Homo-oligomer: A and B are copies of this chain.
């Protein structure tokens, strides 16, 4: 039985030794088959953890957004050994492509082994000081202004009802618009955590009630950012 490894990537331009365990780097550099969200970033990652990694002797299957799921299924017939899944940053299959590959691999009888690496969801939650016993991750919120306001109010209600931390992300160039919508529409007592460029030199993780965010500066434009709210 062959194995499919879930290979974490660094979050941004971070030293791999800070975020990827030694044995995970070792397992990764021994593989020659990869399902990748982005060919360029996957190659760069492999060279980062092993500067003599034989890129040209390796096989890369594209699992990015523009690839048809039917083609993804066909990749498996080309596998001659264990393979890994690499996303653009962080854990594959969590807030990133890969879950459909895992599901197909399971059906085909592969063993699935998840390996440890950075996750902005987990790291921001731990550092937020918010409830880590009960939390939900929602991916991207709606772009439409009215739908976004309704969603924010829904998340506040769910948080209050279940004492559940609500976590979400935005495309980096829309971060300021989301931040402003949160400040304008959340209850002043709702706690908001803004976590920026986690594990990098630019890391900033700030938790404040919405009322105090009105006076707090944080530059998140085009920065990788994750947002958490909790209402008690």
Contact = CB atoms under 8 A, between A and B. Distances in A.
B164 A136 contact: yes
Given A96-B132, A122-B91, A127-B114, A21 B23 contact: no
A22 interface: yes
Contacts of A139: 133-134
Interface residues of A, number: 56
A84 interface: no
Contacts of A91: 122, 126
Given A121-B122, A203-B113, A133 B21 contact: no
Interface string A4-27: 001000000001111111111000
A122 B123 CA distance: 11
A116 B117 contact: yes
A94 B125 contact: yes
Contacts of A125: 93-94
Q: Is the interface of A mostly helix, strand, loop or mixed?
A: mixed
Nearest to A205: B112
Given A17-B22, A19-B21, A21-B19, A126 B102 contact: yes
Q: Specify which of A127, A139, A207 lies most central, judged by the most chain B CB atoms within 10 Å of its CB.
A: A127
Given A23-B17, A123-B116, A126-B6, A99 B131 contact: yes
A199 interface: yes
A93 to B, nearest CB: 4
Interface of A: 6, 15-24, 91-96, 98-100, 102-103, 105-106, 112-114, 116-119, 121-139, 164, 198-199, 203, 205, 207
17 contacts: A6-B123, A16-B21, A17-B21, A18-B116, A19-B21, A20-B116, A21-B21, A22-B22, A93-B126, A99-B132, A102-B126, A102-B127, A105-B129, A114-B122, A114-B126, A114-B127, A133-B139
